[in-house]
């Protein structure tokens, strides 16, 4: 999305720290962006939502995958160049959240 980012991340152990993860993510990406554009990338705050079960995970994944379509940016999620996963292939993701 041109003005925001959706991430769906999973803490895999009891030491997982969302604040640390987001802080490092924003710091590293902001450094590269500032270097390339001489502009600020992120606002100071972020908004999180803790998911409680598998069903809600699928609901949120479906929302994220369809967001560029709802926004009228693309006609199909596969056309959006910034959609993907570090774990799953995009087609597998789209198939898994198909209604």
Task: Please check whether residue 5 lies inside any domain of the structure.
Answer: no
Longest dimension (CA), the chain: 42
Number of domains in the chain: 1
What DSSP element (H or E) covers 83? none
Task: Please check whether residue 28 lies inside any domain of the structure.
Answer: yes
Contacts of 61 (CB under 8 A, 6+ apart): 8, 93, 96, 97
Mean pLDDT, rounded, of the chain: 87
Task: Please check whether residue 75 lies inside any domain of the structure.
Answer: yes
Q: What is the DSSP string of 30-56?
A: HHHHHHHHSS----S--------SHHH
Task: Please check whether residue 4 lies inside any domain of the structure.
Answer: no
- Residue 94 banded pLDDT, cuts 50, 70, 90: confident
Task: Please check whether residue 9 lies inside any domain of the structure.
Answer: no
* The pair of three-digit structure tokens given for residue 65, joined into one six-digit string: 């995958």
Range of the domain at 86: 18-96
Tell me the percentage of the chain whose pLDDT exceeds 70.
Answer: 94
Note the pLDDT tens digit of each residue in 9-54: 988 899 999 999 999 999 999 999 999 999 999 998 888 888 877 7
């Amino acid at each position: 999305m041109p003005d925001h980012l959706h991430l769906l991340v999973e803490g895999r152990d009891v030491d997982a720290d969302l604040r640390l993860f987001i802080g490092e993510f924003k710091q590293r990406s902001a450094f590269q962006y500032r270097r390339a554009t001489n502009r600020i990338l992120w606002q100071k705050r972020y908004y999180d939502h803790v998911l409680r079960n598998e069903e809600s995970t699928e609901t949120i994944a479906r929302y994220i995958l369809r967001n560029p379509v709802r926004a009228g940016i693309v006609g199909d999620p596969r056309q959006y160049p910034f959609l993907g996963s570090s774990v799953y292939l995009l087609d597998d993701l789209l198939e898994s959240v198909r209604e």
